[in-house]
Structure 1
């Protein structure tokens, strides 16, 4: 689905769950409604306004701090993206390398980054949600493609989208691109049953 901004589009993503399509499944974290494979295309990544009805603004700050703020040193997400440990034990800033690759070759299809370590994440209790992505110049825009293993649309979708939208906007600025977009794909987009009831109560 398409959305112009996170602020304008989050309600549209939520509305999918009210149409009767998602499967009701039992997980180790509780009962949820699940969409197995959701793709969202964000047209304007530079607009970082949160949705007015989002109930957890502190989580937006928390997620952003893991990439841009004072939680970076303890953030697994930041370590994978900006300090991946290579074979010689030296850190690799994957995102900076991907951006530089596009600076050298605007048509490259190899500006890819990974955040999934199978030796740690396969079978792990709390594996990372974003597993990898890529940067591409498409027309006049910088597009960040992001694949997520799992996202809670009620709680985690907004912080994750806004944080990676900022990454995309920053990369677009560094590369002199006209605009920044995000193409986000989640293997599991879900809402837990208790939050689903809260959503329905607010929508009625």
Structure 2
């Protein structure tokens, strides 16, 4: 399933509406019953608009997630370590995102500006495996496109902070490359909404 949205603010509501009009799978997990849409792809047309959605209940999580990439939590953030300080075989750190951006600066037609955040020796069977698992950068026309693949995302809680943070990354990279703008192609293997939150959403939508 594919969905195109204008901004994170409007797109969150668009994604939520898919759960009420579609037929998501009902899954029992260790965290409770949830509704799951496997393989949902969301195209974000305007990542530069970082306005949070109206009605999103966890604004503190937006700050928390941003701090993991841009702020004071970087040193302890697994996400930051994987993306900006990947440990190579020789022990040296690799800033994958910076190298991917630089690759496009050298060759705007490159299809190899790829980054990974999944370490199988740590994440396969891990208690809190990382998500997103990886992505890529491409220049398409006059825009930078950030392709991001998520292992799993809770639409009610984690989707907004995650998308807003990577939206800023994409916007900053586009500016650094002198491009007109950016877009995001966000693909999740498990886009889910827990039953209790689904009921809260339905009550508020009436």
Category of TM-score, reference length = shorter chain: over 0.9
Q: 1:146 deviation in Å?
A: 0.1
Q: Which residue of 2 aligns with 1:177?
A: 179
Q: 1:42 deviation in Å?
A: 0.3
Distance 2:47 2:109 in 1: 21
Match of 2:73 among 63, 71, 74: 71
Distance 1:26 1:156 in 2: 19
Q: Which residue of 2 aligns with 1:14?
A: 16
**Structure 1 segment 186-197 matched on structure 2, within 5 A:** 186-197=188-199
Q: 1:19 deviation in Å?
A: 1.4
Q: State TM-score, norm by structure 1.
A: 0.99
- Per-residue displacement from partner, 1:175-199 (whole Å, max 9, x unpaired)? 0010011000000000011111111
Q: State TM-score, norm by structure 2.
A: 0.98
Task: Quote the RMSD (CA, aligned, Å).
Answer: 0.6
Q: 1:203 deviation in Å?
A: 0.7
- Per-residue displacement from partner, 1:39-88 (whole Å, max 9, x unpaired)? 00000111100001111000000000000000000000000000000011
Q: Which residue of 1 aligns with 2:41?
A: 39
Q: 1:91 deviation in Å?
A: 0.6
Residue 151 (1) aligns with residue 153 (2)? yes
Distance 2:27 2:90 in 1: 43
Any gaps of 5 or more consecutive residues in structure 1? none
Q: 1:30 deviation in Å?
A: 1.2
Q: 1:20 deviation in Å?
A: 4.1
Equivalences, count: 204
Distance 2:115 2:11 in 1: 26
